[in-house]
Amino acid sequence: MNEFRGMLSNFDIDGIWLDYHHSHASWERAEPAMPDTCFCERCVDQFARETKTELPDLTTPDLAELLLSEYKETWVQWRCDLFTDWVREFRSILDETRPAALLGTYHCPWTDSDYDGALRES
């Protein structure tokens, strides 16, 4: 975010586009690759803290399985909220630094029903 703020301060920019702000996926293929990520300690700890979810002490593969089953709705919503919050933060920085500039986004063109709801869940 500091780099974003610096770029807006140092260059005469009329607008900026956020390029594919989403979780990891290779969706520009005939059969998209959409792995469920990230289950690192930092992300799992942040999820537990921010959602007030008590998680058992499990290995990473077992935690991933638990998050994608018993806690799937909470996990997916938390991940979606992360991306939404990033956009809000970019917008706020743009409004503070260069309020007349436009903010745009490129994103996946799927509908909610494509690939079993992958737009939201992958």
52 pLDDT tier (thresholds 50, 70, 90) = very high
Is the pLDDT confidence value at 30 over 90?
no
Tokens of 92: 């706020």
Its pTM stands at 0.75
Residue with tokens 């063109």: 109
C-beta of residue 91 within 8 angstroms of C-beta of residue 6: no
CA distance 75 to 24: 15
Q: Over the stretch 58-87, which tens digit does the pLDDT of each residue have? A: 999 999 999 999 999 999 999 989 888 989
pLDDT at 73: 92
Taking the chain, what is the end-to-end CA distance rounded to the nearest angstrom? Answer: 25
CA distance 42 to 34: 21
CA distance 89 to 91: 5
Nearest-10 Cα torsion for 50, 92, 20, 37:
-10
